[in-house]
Structure 1
């Protein structure tokens, strides 16, 4: 079905549903009003015919009384029965017609009272009949207004008979009264229709708002479902894509070491560099997706900027020197309120971006306090940007002066991550740039008070420690992927570490039980997601209860699902996220045996 036709069909269906709900509510109001007005109508009718009978002593009054009360009782019984039903008369045409018939009969009986009881000789009695009849008419028009057909069924016979009764009296005053009654009927119908329209419009507005609220609730459910599906996809993609990349990275590291001092070493080095770029790009894409999915949460604490600035200098000074650039990171004693790890990620991305687009001169990183704000400026002497480019620099995959998509310049995600982290941490970004004169990126942060500084002494991450020469003598590798086991084992053997490779938890437990007492496994490198639904974290946690001296555990994982990450954070084990570089793996092994 074409899109426009589908939208039209959907709109027609929604309009039909809305009209049905409005009509149902109109009939419900009619039944409710009839039920509440019935006792008063019964009393009025009783007083009316008793008074008339007292004056006229005519048996026809008793006949009229029987008719009016019979109508009232039948209508009351009918309304009471259908008020408890799940279906309104509007949904059952025969029932609706019967109710309209009862209302019409009620109006006719009241109109007949004027024809039967209007005495020409007694003006007071005549006035009494007319006033009571018109009062019944006015009251009925009010509570019957929700349903237009009910108004017409009741009002037309009553006013017609009342007008006819007056005109039939033959005297001028009654003729005038009949004309006035007719005009009154026209005016009453007009106001009743206006009341009906006002009530209908209010019901339509009410149900449209309810429909919009329901639609919004459905959209929220769909968005939540999409977010959950996205999270599940990210978790699956993270593991399934990181796993082979993890094996490739380690095998390439082994190849690079094996080919040193050979003509092929340059090729191996280029391969390792390309794999590193692939891993970095993959991490960046997953990071941006996790930020969009809302799975990254900030832990805002007092943070000293100096340790983070030192980390920036350690990481980027060599890169700047190789390109003939000067990186100046000015020391500072300022503290801010932020998330240490996320803030460091923002600063690292800003510095990396500044170095990328600077060909001469350098980059300066400086922090200063301005009243109740801390400004962190990253200023470069690079290419700069035109004003129309600034509004796009935080878009994903947007890069300036990289039409060939040079992979060495990244994917254009770094500033997109900075933008999302800025909104997450509520650290506004100010950008100033002149084409050909460099750029300034400024983060605006809240300062940490002296009391907060004394209460908390966190430090920013300073990067991975270098591998220590004191590596464990024997390591067990538990991973269900044969390529990963081979890559890790080969890498460790190059560094003189004995390895035992197993593919399941049962094999690992058997190997631990049979290990030599004088040469036990010092470390267990364990994948979190094992084959057949087994969990590496559960297996590693259970070793403490089964062994007097269990091996130290390093968990390897490609998981990114929030629940999985929370479990890993709550464990006491070292966790490495795939793909793990050879440098990072050896550093973790050296660290865990210290």
Structure 2
């Protein structure tokens, strides 16, 4: 009762109008079922009246060696009368003509052996013996035989038909009439019995190839792969049924048909398990054994012309092996309840019924000779129905993916806009906070440097405090400088200026800078001499290699650091080796990120802030120089950067002449912050410069317009001023005195402002800075 109730509920929810292609799939499966039922259960058709010019022969004399001639009704099936199909047979019948016809007569056979000879009045009218290129030798097929008028005579004419068969044996009824009348009848029969199944299976084969191409991109989808292979194999087999010629000998062709039947049953079982999402190990092993063993047995039987006997025993076993397919597909249709699943279950049932019909007709000889194969019709319809359902599922999935992509793109756009707004807010905050932080740091750094450089030596305790203060200021300056470098690289305000760079000059500058730090740790820093010349931005390359060497010195406790340049074809690789602690493989990518330090959990300021390698990677990416790392924990590391080689020799630069500090030079300073202004003034006076200090653009303009204005040798101006900016200061002074060297000091990190200063082409000194950096900028 519960089962009936569930079926009743399902029938209540059934929709009579089905949307394509699922509805079309179900309709095709139903059409296949209706076709099968019509052919199997329809009563024998009563021959219609042949017409005034056409005669139908329904009786003939049958002769077989060793048997008495007997009169038989046509169509005649030998199996019904116990005649061996391998025995040659002869049919004799007569027809009458009122007079000599004006055109050739035609004999139409619904079924006639491909091996036959037809004599009319003792003369050969048509004959075909066994040929090496025949695809289906000795099987009954539709035939049209032309009889020329020369073989005919008025009155009674006798026809003898000699036939030989390999499997099914017999003869259909015969229609005799004018060729112009019966040719069209024969062509219509060929279309329905040959051209139509060939077209159906050719289309199914194309659809199967399309499914297999899809499966090639999704190898894990066993349902799609096994179904495509089953459909392709069955379509090729069915199409070959109706071929007149073959590219292989008859025995090989016969073996192919047998093997195709075996593999079709195996693929059907594999597909049913994958579709039902159930795996039966014993059933799978049985299918694999059948796929391997039965084709071998078939090859042996074909060689000894015993394949028909093998078919009689193996085909029932294959049919039994397909019974689990009915259970699996039916259960899947019941559990899923979809139209596609129902179409598949109906289609599989139709195919198995068609296989049973074809077995009864071909192998068991239970059906009359006039029967046609059903599998070439039912299989493409049934499998095509389910393949259309599969395509519908794929189209639906693609539509869902498109919708998801639209939603994803919208969410990405929203998140991108949010990130851009957050990044802009961060940039504005950092620009403001950085400027406010840098101002006091400049003052502290300049004042500490003045105290340390003063002629009066402070007490040891004060000297120690000054050293600690100088170290703290240096750490803060390093952090802000690193943040500024990253900000410049991100904003795109840095424009590389490529030029030939002598690697030896680069190594000399780095050795001067890093050798004291290495000596303090007891390390040996070696920079191997080289004459190579590379192409890069000299300033950016110096910063990159200096960061790499500085990191190597920081993280090496004993041993040393080696810096070398190696030529690799038209490239040069600068490598920095150390004998430090090494870096584990899982951390080698992370160290190039900002603020990442693997062995500094206490965040010691003396070991940096974790910005050096991030600056290295971004600077190298901007220059197009590959950067890499080789390292093993406990054995040290090797950082490298690869640069293009400059083959031409570059003359060595002239040795720089020593420049005195600022004695006797006139320097104009424009700075709005009182503390920084006083510190700069004090530092310039300590360097014995003559200084004119102003707090705004307006104060500077009053001085320029007054009588005490004098031409300065150097101009130092803050960028952000209460009533203008440093570029306006430079323009005003140059307008009054002409071109002169100028330096802008700034704490701004806003990309737009940095780009504006870079475009102006003036020397920029970023806050905070040490006294040495200020002196280098002024002397440059």
TM-score by length of 2: 0.45
Choose between structure 1 and 2 for higher RCO, CA contacts under 8 A separated by at least 6 residues.
Answer: 1
Match of 1:320 among 515, 518, 539: 518
Listed one character per residue, the Cα deviations across residues 340-369 of structure 1 (whole Å, up to 9, x for unaligned) are 322222211110011112233321110111
- Structure 1 position 208, deviation (Å): 5.2
Note the C-alpha offset of 1:275: 0.8
Matched residue, 1:544 = 734
Q: Which of the residues 577, 583, 589 maps onto 2:772?
A: 583
CA–CA separation in structure 1 for the residues paired with 2:420 and 2:730 = 34
2:743 aligned partner: 554
Secondary structure of 1:485's counterpart equals: helix
1:270 aligns with 2:270: no
Could you tell me which of 519, 525, 531 is aligned with 2:722?
A: 531
Q: CA deviation at 1:301?
A: 4.9
Q: Does 1:418 align with 2:616?
A: yes
CA distance in 1, matches of 2:618, 2:391: 54
User: Which residue matches 2:107?
Assistant: none
Instruction: Quote the offset at 1:271 in angstroms.
Output: 1.6
- Please say if 1:366 is aligned against 2:564: yes
On the 8 A contact 1:250/1:582 being kept in 2, the answer is: yes
Matches within 5 A, 1:39-58: none
Contact 1:525–1:553 (Cα < 8 Å) also in 2: yes
Q: 1:394 aligns with which of 589, 592, 603?
A: 592
Q: Do 2:487 and 2:751's aligned partners in 1 also have CA atoms closer than 8 Å? A: no
Return the alpha-carbon distance in structure 2 between the equivalents of residues 494 and 437 of structure 1: 49
* C-alpha spacing 1:515/1:525, structure 2 compared with 1 (3 Å): farther
Note the 1:369-518 alignment, pairs <5 A: 369-448=567-646, 450=648, 468-514=660-706, 516=708
Q: CA RMSD in A?
A: 3.6
- Aligned-residue offset at 1:267: 2.4
SS in 2 for 1:412: coil
In 2: Cα distance, 1:293 partner to 1:574 partner: 19
3-state SS of paired residue (2:563): strand
CA contact (8 A) 2:487 2:749 kept: no
Alignment pair present for 1:240 and 2:436? yes
Equivalent position SS for 1:402: coil
Which residue number corresponds to residue 573 of structure 1? 762
Q: Alpha carbons of 1:515 and 1:212: their partners in 2 closer, same or farther (altered >3 Å)?
A: same
Residue aligning to 2:480: 282
Give the CA deviation at 1:568: 2.2
Aligned-partner Cα distance in 1 for 2:453–2:657: 20
The one of 713, 716, 721 aligned to 1:522:
713
Mapped contact 1:376–1:442 kept (Cα < 8 A)? yes
1:465/1:587 contact within 8 Å kept: no
1:249 aligns with 2:445: yes
C-alpha distance in structure 2 between counterparts of 1:195 and 1:365, whole Å: 63
Q: Distance in 2 between matches of 1:466 and 1:287?
A: 30
SS of the aligned residue for 1:397 comes to coil
The answer for the alignment partner of 1:343 in structure 2 is: 541
- The answer as to whether partners of 2:445 and 2:470 remain within 8 angstroms in 1 is yes
In structure 1, list runs of 5 or more residues that go unmatched.
Answer: 1-193
Is 2:592–2:614's contact at 8 Å kept on the other side of the alignment?
yes
1:159-308 matches, cutoff 5 A: 209-258=405-454, 260-263=456-459, 264-292=462-490, 295-308=493-506
1:81-96 to 2 correspondence within 5 Å?
none
- The CA distance in 2 between the partners of 1:387 and 1:201, in whole Å, is 40
Contact 2:523 2:560 in 1 (8 A): yes
The alignment partner of 2:668 has SS state of strand
Whether the aligned pair in 1 keeps the contact of 2:493 and 2:755 (CA below 8 Å) is no
Distance in 2 (alpha carbons) for counterparts of 1:197 and 1:440? 54
Deviation at 1:314, TM superposition (A): 1.9
Matched with 1:135 is: none
Structure-1 residue corresponding to 2:175: none
Query: In the TM superposition, what is the alpha-carbon distance from 1:196 to its structure 2 partner?
Result: 12
How far apart are residue 481 of structure 1 and its match? Answer: 0.5
494 and 421 in structure 1: CA distance in 2 versus 1, 3 angstrom threshold: closer
Distance 1:507 1:557 in 2: 20
**Conserved? CA contact 2:662–2:687, under 8 Å:** no
Distance 1:474 1:543, change over 3 A: closer
Counterpart secondary structure, 1:310: helix
How far apart are the structure 2 equivalents of 1:393 and 1:205?
A: 37
Report the number of matched residues. Answer: 389
Given that 1:230 and 1:293 are in contact with CA atoms closer than 8 Å, whether structure 2 keeps it comes out as: no
CA distance in 2, matches of 1:420, 1:498: 42
Classify 1:247/1:203 alpha carbon distance in 2 versus 1 (closer, same or farther; 3 Å).
same
CA deviation profile, 1:248-294 (whole Å, cap 9, x unmatched): 21122223234741203332233223212210122113323444555
In structure 1, what is the Cα distance between the partners aligned to 2:495 and 2:761?
A: 21
Please give the alpha-carbon distance, in whole angstroms, between the structure 1 residues aligned to 2:711 and 2:671: 19
1:550: Cα distance to partner? 7.1
Q: Which runs of 5+ in 2 are unaligned?
A: 1-389
Alpha-carbon offset, residue 488 of structure 1: 0.8
- Going from structure 1 to structure 2, the CA distance change for 1:356 and 1:210 (only over 3 Å counts) comes to closer
1:306-360 C-alpha deviation (Å, 9 max, x unpaired): 3222221221123223333222112223233433322222211110011112233
Q: 1:439 to 1:204 in 2, by over 3 A?
A: closer
CA contact (8 A) 1:259 1:265 kept: no
**CA distance change for structure 1 residues 470 and 579 in 2, over 3 Å: closer, same or farther?**
same
Distance in 1 between the 2:652 and 2:488 partners?
25
Rg comparison, structure with higher value: 2
